[in-house]
């Protein structure tokens, strides 16, 4: 092997290492960035329940009907606060959760305080809208 070819080998190894690191970082971003963006940038709080573990949409609707006073209390936090059942996963269209839509962080804190005292018995996601 000539001296020129040997000199280029470390360059290609370095390029390979950088490329592999870029691929690992890209996969890490896909896995970890969405929750970070939801919580810190958008001020939303996903329920954190996997799609296959969500209750049926019928159970979610029944939970809303069984707790009308809790729905009213949460919605009274602000005029733009809305509580509804949602189908959040396209991979599990028969499953869902309760989603509470609110306009800002102060409302979220009040809603979280209410939900610490009482709950619907099904997963709840808080979405800054």
**pLDDT, tens digit, 9 for 90 and up, residues 90-99:** 999 999 999 9
Write down the pTM of the prediction.
Answer: 0.69
Which of 83, 77, 79 has the alpha carbon at shortest distance from 100?
Answer: 83
Please give the Cα distance from 71 to 25 (Å, whole number). Answer: 42
Average pLDDT over residues 16-43: 62
In this predicted structure, the answer to whether residue 1 has a pLDDT above a threshold of 60 is no
What is the pLDDT at residue 44? 84
Mean pLDDT is lowest, of 3-17, 38-52, 53-67, 108-122, for: 3-17
Please give the Cα distance from 90 to 107 (Å, whole number). Answer: 28
Determine the Cα angle at 40 with ends 124 and 111, to 5°: 35
Average pLDDT over residues 7-35: 67
Please give the Cα distance from 16 to 39 (Å, whole number). Answer: 35
- pLDDT tens, 35-89? 554 445 567 889 999 999 999 999 999 999 999 999 999 999 998 999 999 998 9
């Amino acid at each position: 092997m000539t001296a020129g070819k040997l000199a280029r080998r470390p360059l290609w190894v370095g390029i390979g290492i950088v490329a592999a690191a870029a691929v690992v970082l890209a996969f890490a971003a896909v896995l970890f960035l969405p929750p970070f963006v939801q919580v810190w940038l958008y001020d939303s709080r996903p329920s954190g329940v996997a799609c296959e573990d969500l209750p049926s949409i019928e159970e979610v609707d029944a939970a809303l009907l069984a707790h009308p006073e809790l729905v009213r209390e949460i919605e009274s936090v602000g005029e733009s606060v809305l509580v509804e059942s949602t189908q959040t996963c396209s991979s599990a269209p028969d499953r869902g959760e309760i989603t509470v839509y609110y306009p800002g962080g102060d409302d979220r804190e009040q809603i979280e305080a209410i939900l610490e005292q009482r709950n619907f018995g099904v997963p709840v996601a808080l979405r800054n809208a």
